[in-house]
Amino acid sequence: MAADEIDTTAEEKWASAYADQHGFRLNPDRVQLTNVLRGLVRNRKRFGEQYCPCRIRSGDPEKDRAIVCPCIYHTQEIDKDGHCHCNLFFENKQP
């Protein structure tokens, strides 16, 4: 791995386990998945929490707790749209 590459191994492991536990699946598009995971890693390194990479932080940790991944919106979004706003988690439709 190049020095400037972001290691997403831990986040992917966490997201995969979370998806399994909740009946979701991860984005099957490897490029999109990696981009979202990188955003989570970046936010964790910069701000101490894995804030959603697709939402704007207010800067108030109390308010921003709502957008720490998995955000408070994801289940509703997956129900409605089939995936969360960032396209990290998808509904797990049985074929």
**Distance from C-alpha of 46 to C-alpha of 95, rounded to nearest angstrom:** 40
Selected binder of ligand SF4 within 19, 26, 33, 36 (CB under 6 A)? 36
Q: Does 70 bind ligand SF4 (CB under 6 A)?
A: yes
Query: Hey, what are 64's tokens?
Result: 């921003």
Distance of CA 35 to the CA centre of its chain: 10
Distance of CA 39 to the CA centre of its chain: 8
Near ligand SF4 by CB under 6 A, which window of 1-9, 26-34, 57-65, 82-90? 82-90
Q: Does 90 bind ligand SF4 (CB under 6 A)?
A: no
Give residues in contact with ligand SF4 (CB under 6 A): 36, 52, 54, 67, 69-71, 73-74, 84-86, 88-89
